């Protein structure tokens, strides 16, 4: 089983649509979870950390289900500028110096 597994995509959606990305992780001891976005040939940029209680930042909502080892990201009212690859990322040890383990990414294309 892959350490971090995401929907393969791509997701092609019209502007204004709601889109959801799913991710599962294999190490039940993982403690810290993140969503990053990556534009073509650019660096990963932190979108949001994911907390057990769920968290929201504007149009973006992240959820964590530790029992199912499942992480999700919901984007509401999608914009053209949301087109990117979304990376599900897990810190294996959960400590500040721990390595990040990346999923393969899910590509999102928002069309006019």
Partner 1 sequence: EPEVTQTPSHQVTQMGQEVILRCVPISNHLYFYWYRQILGQKVEFLVSFYNNEISEKSEIFDDQFSVERPDGSNFTLKIRSTKLEDSAMYFCASNRGYEQYFGPGTRLTVT
- Listed ranges 17-25, 61-69, 75-83, 100-108: which one lies at the site for partner 1 (CB under 8 A): 100-108
The C-alpha atoms of residue 30 and residue 27 are separated, in whole angstroms, by: 6
List the interface residues with partner 1, window 13-72 (CB under 8 A).
32, 34, 41-46, 49
The C-alpha atoms of residue 15 and residue 32 are separated, in whole angstroms, by: 31
CA 17 to mean position of chain CA atoms: 17
Q: Does 91 bind partner 1 (CB under 8 A)?
A: yes
Contacts of 42 (CB under 8 A, 6+ apart): none
| Nearer Cβ to partner 1 (42/59) | 42
Residues interacting with partner 1, by CB under 8 A? 32, 34, 41-46, 49, 87, 91, 94, 96-105
């Amino acid at each position: 089983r892959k350490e971090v597994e995401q929907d393969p995509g791509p997701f092609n959606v019209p502007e204004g649509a709601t889109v959801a990305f799913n991710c599962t992780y294999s190490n039940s001891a993982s403690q810290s979870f993140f969503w990053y976005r990556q534009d073509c040939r650019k660096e990963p940029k932190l979108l949001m950390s994911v907390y057990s209680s769920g968290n929201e930042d504007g149009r973006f909502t992240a959820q964590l289900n530790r029992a199912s080892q499942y992480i999700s990201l919901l984007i509401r009212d999608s914009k053209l500028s949301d087109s990117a690859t979304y990376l599900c990322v897990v810190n294996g040890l959960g400590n500040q110096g721990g390595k990040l383990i990346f999923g393969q990414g899910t590509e999102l294309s928002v069309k006019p």
